[in-house]
Chains A and B, each alone.
Chain A
Amino acid sequence: MPETTLTLPVTVSLEQIATLIRQMSQSDQKRLLSLAPDLHQIASRSPSPRTREQAHTSVKKLRKKVLTALNDQPLSSDEPFTENLTLGQYNSLSDKEKACLWDQWGEDTDLTELKEKEVISDALSVR
């Protein structure tokens, strides 16, 4: 009798595959890497830094998106930004002054005072 192969259409998400891999023994994980060496190469490759050209291209696209969100009505520098400052006045502050303002605005939330949240048992770690 010739051997037949039956193919069943099954949809499996990447998250399900990742969960399965995490449940494998270390030797099976090593075997998987030898079967799919591209994974190893991708994981060990450090991405190259972004160039100024790439950044400028991103910003050009983003400018369109921002202006579309504002119905092509750019903000005026006379626009109130906070209770005491217009947008133009905020822009004219030094970086240090802006940082001080943000520190003041954020000082009512202390991260170490917040309740710690439990994660699910198969939470995705980084590596």
Chain B
Amino acid sequence: MRCLLDKVTARYILQGLLRLAENRNPGIEEIFALDLFSISDPEAFRLFITPPAFNILQKLAHMPKYSELIHLFLEQIEVALPSRYFKRWARRLREFGFTREDAAVLTSASFSTDKEGAILGMRFVATFDQPMMRHWLSEQKIIRKRFTAMKKEIPMPYCRASLPEVLRPEQINA
């Protein structure tokens, strides 16, 4: 199983780790984000972040006091790189009224890969963004129809791409 973390979920994991590093208690959303982080597994349940989130973490990693924490984070989380047909599907999703960033995250879950190019897409998107989740669900029927139509136009292995389940971190269980 594979799961893509949106930027807010990645932020809550980092903030949760910072709280623990201060020996303080994280907030409830940070706790559920940290729980998802804890149950990840490099083979059975892989977690991914987008390149923009990765770049933010890299900036913080330059500060010696935080490098251990960022290392701990990046030891368990990989970067999802846009695959072929990313731009085409992102353009179509934007037509459904998603923001540029939401469309990019949702598209990454269908058309992204790891650094070896050995995977295609994610089963889940983890997010705390309720309006985005609601919009994804309410438009699901027509999005799926459009997605199926696009898949008929593209070659293997890209035509095996799928749409993700968009859920809150605590709804995702390995």
C-alpha spacing A112/B108, complex, angstroms: 10
Determine the chain A residues whose CB is within 8 A of the CB of B122 once the complex forms.
126
Contact of B118 among A54, A65, A119 (CB under 8 A): A119
For A, the interface residue count at a CB cutoff of 8 angstroms equals: 51
Contact of A106 among B23, B52, B81 (CB under 8 A): B52
Number of A-B contacts (CB under 8 A): 175
CB distance from A115 to the nearest CB of B (A): 8
CB distance from B147 to the nearest CB of A (A): 13
Considering the complex, which residues of chain B in the window 55-81 have a beta carbon less than 8 Å from any beta carbon of chain A?
Answer: 55-56, 59-60, 63, 65-66, 68-69, 71-72, 81
CB distance from B3 to the nearest CB of A (A): 11
Contact A55 B123, beta carbon cutoff 8 Å:
no
Contact of A69 among B53, B68, B162 (CB under 8 A): B68
Considering the complex, which residues of chain A in the window 69-127 have a beta carbon less than 8 Å from any beta carbon of chain B?
Answer: 69-70, 74-77, 79-81, 87, 91, 98-99, 102, 105-106, 108-112, 114-127
Determine the chain A residues whose CB is within 8 A of the CB of B60 once the complex forms.
81
C-alpha spacing A37/B83, complex, angstroms: 34
- Given A111-B82, A117-B84, A126-B121, do A58 and B39 touch, yes or no (CB 8 Å)? yes
Determine the chain B residues whose CB is within 8 A of the CB of A125 once the complex forms.
119-121, 157, 160-162
Contact B113 A106, beta carbon cutoff 8 Å:
no
Contact of B34 among A58, A102, A110 (CB under 8 A): A58
Q: Does A9 sit at the interface, judged by CB under 8 A?
A: no
CB distance from B159 to the nearest CB of A (A): 9
Contact of A116 among B16, B26, B34, B85 (CB under 8 A): B85
Determine the chain A residues whose CB is within 8 A of the CB of B36 once the complex forms.
50
Given contacts A74-B21, A119-B158, 16 further A-B contacts (CB under 8 A): A50-B172, A59-B26, A61-B38, A66-B17, A67-B20, A70-B69, A87-B22, A116-B83, A116-B87, A117-B81, A118-B83, A120-B118, A121-B157, A125-B121, A126-B121, A126-B162
